[in-house]
């Protein structure tokens, strides 16, 4: 049977009130009494209810995370850094994988509110009306959730320009871009804007293929195959994330296309996992750790009431990382 405060008090030969004061660090307690209570807790293998203690102090020190899926290397690495940073600040996280489903995301929002989290960091795609109604600190990463929620993102527009310029500098002239649905309200769509600007400045008509569902590999493969069937003359591809780029590599190999001799590819994200698995992929590296740090910093500022309202969108610089064969 789970031990109680009364059991601790009996073993330590103090009152339950004294045990409670030790647990909540309230009032003066002599060192001897504190040691007796702590020893009794250890002997009975007693662990205090952290949630109840946190609610007493009006903070749970829990932060909710809602992301489409941590199986994606970008989201996985982002969550890794967020959790490390939160832990260093005394916060724990509740992680929710929404799988891009609005109903699941809404259910998680309700769950996080019921569990009294201090704030939420969101990287999911859906712009739910609940975000505008929630009286809770929220920060978005690479997503527009509402006009009042701060956004942390990489410089997607410049990233699109850098990727396209690199392909043009390599002599490519039949360059195609692959990205997610343009109707999604996300800063990532600015990668397409950067690509299109550079293509028009070069006097070339931009061509973009959209993935109807970015998290489903089958749909990505179908889109890549259609691209090659429609445009066999393609000599350069700018993929809006590294997983799409990996799919391009795989399909190009099946078709006997040599990379980079006949086809040059640029990805986006530059996660450690992908750089290890695809060291020959040239990509635009997002400052993932810095994005995590900034998102947590802003969220803590909002929790503590120190956030400056004019800082609505934080844009962090990107970097071209050339593949090792280049």
> Range with the lowest mean pLDDT among 131-145, 172-186, 298-312?
298-312
Is pLDDT at 223 greater than 90 in this prediction?
A: yes
Q: Round the average pLDDT of the chain to a whole number and report it.
A: 89
In this structure, the answer to whether residues 168 and 255 fall within a common structural domain is: yes
Looking at the chain, list the stretches that DSSP marks H as alpha helix, in order from N- to C-terminal side: 5-12, 16-24, 31-43, 50-56, 73-88, 102-114, 130-133, 156-169, 190-201, 217-230, 242-254, 272-277, 288-304
Q: What are phi and psi of 227, to 5 degrees?
A: -60, -50
The CATH number of residue 133's host domain is 3.40.50.2300
Instruction: Using alpha carbons only, give the angle 270, 187, 124 rounded to the nearest 5 degrees.
Output: 80
**Residue 321 domain-assigned?**
no
- Both tokens assigned to 169: 């500098």
Cα 226–chain centre separation: 30
Which of 3 and 87 is assigned the larger pLDDT?
87
Domain count of the chain? Answer: 3
Q: H or E stretch including 92?
A: strand 92-97
Q: Quick one: pLDDT at residue 146?
A: 85
Q: Using 50, 70 and 90 to split pLDDT, how confident is the model at 49?
A: low
Question: Where do we find the tokens 């001799």?
Answer: 261
pLDDT in tens, 92-125: 999 999 888 889 988 998 899 888 899 999 998 7
> 298 and 280, same structural domain?
no
- 185 and 241, same domain (yes or no): yes
pLDDT at residue 216, as a whole number: 72
Asked if 126 and 163 sit in the same domain, the reply is no
**315: pLDDT confidence band, cut at 50, 70 and 90?**
very high
Q: What is the CATH number of the domain that holds 33?
A: 1.10.260.40
Assess if residue 324 is contained within a domain: no
Q: Is the pLDDT of residue 326 over 60?
A: no
Residues 280 and 301 in one domain: no
Whole-number pLDDT of residue 215 = 65
Q: What band does 308 get if pLDDT is binned at 50, 70 and 90?
A: confident
Pairing of strands 282-285, 319-321: antiparallel
pTM: 0.82
Closest CA to 190 of 156, 163, 161: 156
Residues 161 and 232 in one domain: yes
Residue 55 lies in a domain: no
* Whether pLDDT at 54 is above 80: no
pLDDT at 217 over 80: no
Confidence of residue 56 (pLDDT cuts 50, 70, 90): low
Query: What mean pLDDT comes out for the span 185-210?
Result: 94
Residue 18: the pLDDT is: 87
Structure tokens given for 85: 């940073």
What pLDDT, on a 0 to 100 scale, did the predictor assign at position 132?
A: 77
9-32: per-residue pLDDT in tens? 888 888 888 887 887 777 778 888
Selection from 323, 15, 294 nearest residue 23 by Cα: 15
Share of residues in the chain with pLDDT > 90 (%) = 58
Give the angle subtended at the CA of 148 by the CAs of 142 and 151, to the nearest 5°. 20
pLDDT at 51 over 70: no
Range(s) of the domain holding residue 167:
156-286
Q: Could you read off the pLDDT of 248-292 as tens digits, one per residue? A: 999 999 999 999 999 999 999 999 999 999 999 999 999 999 999
Paired with 269 in beta bridges are: 285
pLDDT at 28: 78
């Amino acid at each position: 049977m789970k031990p109680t405060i009364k059991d601790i008090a009996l073993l330590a030969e103090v009152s339950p009130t004294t045990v409670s004061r030790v647990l909540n660090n309230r009032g003066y307690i002599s060192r001897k009494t504190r040691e007796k209570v702590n020893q009794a807790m250890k002997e009975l293998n007693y662990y205090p209810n952290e949630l109840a203690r946190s609610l007493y102090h009006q903070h749970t020190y829990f932060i909710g995370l809602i992301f489409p899926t941590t199986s994606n290397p970008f989201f996985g690495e982002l969550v890794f850094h967020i959790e490390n940073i939160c832990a260093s600040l005394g916060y724990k996280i509740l992680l929710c994988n929404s799988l891009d489903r609005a109903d699941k995301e809404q259910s998680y929002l309700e769950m996080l509110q019921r569990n009294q989290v201090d704030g939420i960091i969101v990287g999911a795609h859906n712009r739910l009306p609940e975000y505008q109604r929630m009286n809770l600190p929220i920060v978005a990463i690479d997503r527009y959730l509402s006009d009042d929620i701060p956004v942390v993102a990489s410089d997607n527009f410049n990233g699109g320009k850098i990727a396209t310029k690199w392909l043009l500098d390599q002599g490519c002239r039949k360059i195609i871009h692959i990205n997610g649905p343009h109707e999604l309200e996300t800063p990532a769509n600015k990668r397409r804007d950067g690509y299109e600007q550079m293509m028009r400045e070069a006097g070339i008509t931009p061509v973009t293929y959209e993935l109807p569902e970015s998290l489903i590999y089958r749909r990505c493969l179908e889109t890549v195959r259609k691209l090659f069937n429609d445009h066999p003359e393609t000599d350069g591809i700018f993929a809006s994330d590294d997983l799409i780029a990996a799919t391009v590599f795989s399909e190009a190999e099946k078709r006997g296309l040599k990379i980079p001799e006949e086809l040059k590819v640029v990805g986006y994200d530059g996660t450690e996992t992908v750089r290890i698995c695809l060291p020959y992929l040239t990509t635009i590296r997002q400052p993932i750790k810095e994005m995590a740090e900034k998102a947590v910093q802003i969220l803590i500022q909002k929790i503590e009431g120190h956030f400056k309202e004019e800082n609505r969108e934080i844009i962090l610089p990107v970097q071209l990382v050339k593949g090792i064969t280049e």
